[in-house]
Structures are given as C-alpha cells and as structure tokens.
Amino acid sequence: MPTPKKKRETSTAARSGRTINLKHHVGSKIAIFANRMLRASSRFYRQHYGIGVVEWRVIMFVGYTNETSANRICSETDLDKGAISRSLNGLVRKGIIRMREDGTDSRLRKVGLTAKGRALHDRIVPVAMERQRILLSGLTHAEVEKLLELIGRLRTKAAGYRTSRDDMLAAADDAQNRAGATRRVAAKRRRNA
C-alpha cells in the first residue's frame, strides 16, 4: 500500500535534517501574503471594473504621474515588461490609456489617461482606499507607519538583492553536493566489492 503523500514528505524532511520553518521565513510569508492580495484584488477589479490587477496598477501609476513612459511604469511598479506591454495595449484598445510619441525621441512613447481612463481612475481610487482601510483596520496608525517604513527598507535592500556572502554560500553548497556525491559513489563501490 503506498504511503500517503504527507507522510512521505515528513519522512524525507526528517531524514535530511533540514527544513525551513515557513512561519518564520520572511520571503515565503511576504510571497504568500502578496499572492493572496493579488488574487483577491484581481477578482474584485475584474468583476466590478473589467480590468485585472496589473491594469489597475498601470492606471493607478499613470493617474499618479499624469503622463509617463512604459519603462518608468516597469521600473516603478516592478512589473515585467511583457505584462506592462500587454496591459498597455489592452487599455489602449479599451480607450482607457493613450500613447503618443515623445517629442524628443520618436522611439519613446508617453503614456497618459484618456478622459474615460481618468473617470475610471477617479471612480476606483476611493474604493481602493477603502479596501486598504479595511485591510489595515486592525493596526494602529503607528503600526501602519512602521509597516510602510519596514517595507520601504526591505524593498530598497531587495533591489538587485545579492548578499556579500552569496558566492561563498553557493561555493559551500557546491562543495557539499560534490562531497555527498563522492560519498555515494564510494558507498556504492563498497557494496559492489
């Protein structure tokens, strides 16, 4: 009879002696939180406004800047260029975004909201702020300020994230894997001898 999957996973982790406590792994906690927020927001904005969360981020950023470039949207929102390009094209087709050539460089295009886009932006902003208020309602003003400060500090540190020890950690891991492979080959030779 096959062992249930959960039991096999536990026994594998116990054999290796190494696990990550997901309750204390910051990267996992942030990723899980972000994924839950994105899924909920995406459902909400699609259902009520006919746009996805990426489109909303584009509209929100362009609404904030008034006029910008696709490159700046990518760098400021940290979204993939392909996702931004697809979103911009869809928003142009819907008449929400307008794109025009930059007078200084014909290769660059300025992105702005149309009147329809500005109306949609202005309609969604109070709803988005209320959704945020509800999310943060269990926190004090000081806690929200501290959370924003910590997110800002972590975001700055994560930009191009690379620790001074990355090469050393990777080299130690490679050495450990090679040593393990050598031990497995030696053990196999002993068994076959």
Q: Residues 5-16: pLDDT tens digits?
A: 555 555 455 556
Q: Which residues pair with 100 in a beta bridge?
A: 110
CB contact set of 108 (below 8 Å; sequence gap of 6+): 69, 101, 102
| Nearest residue to 84 (alpha-carbon basis) of 115, 103, 61 | 61
Cα separation, 65 vs 35, in Å, equals 26
pLDDT number for residue 80: 87
Contact assessment for residue 58 and residue 98, using Cβ atoms and an 8 Å cutoff: no
pLDDT number for residue 3: 56
pTM, full prediction: 0.68
Q: Tell which CATH architecture fits domain 20-161.
A: Orthogonal Bundle (1.10)
Whole-angstrom CA distances from 53 to 82, 83, 94, 128 are 15, 11, 16, 11
> Residue 93 is which amino acid?
R
Instruction: Name the residue ranges covered by the structural domains of the chain.
Output: 20-161, 162-193
Q: Residues 56-73: pLDDT tens digits?
A: 999 999 999 988 988 899
Return averaged pLDDT per consecutive 10 residues of the chain, 193 residues in all.
55 64 86 90 93 93 91 87 92 94 73 96 95 94 95 80 62 67 74 75
- For the record, the structure tokens of 28 come out as 């996992």
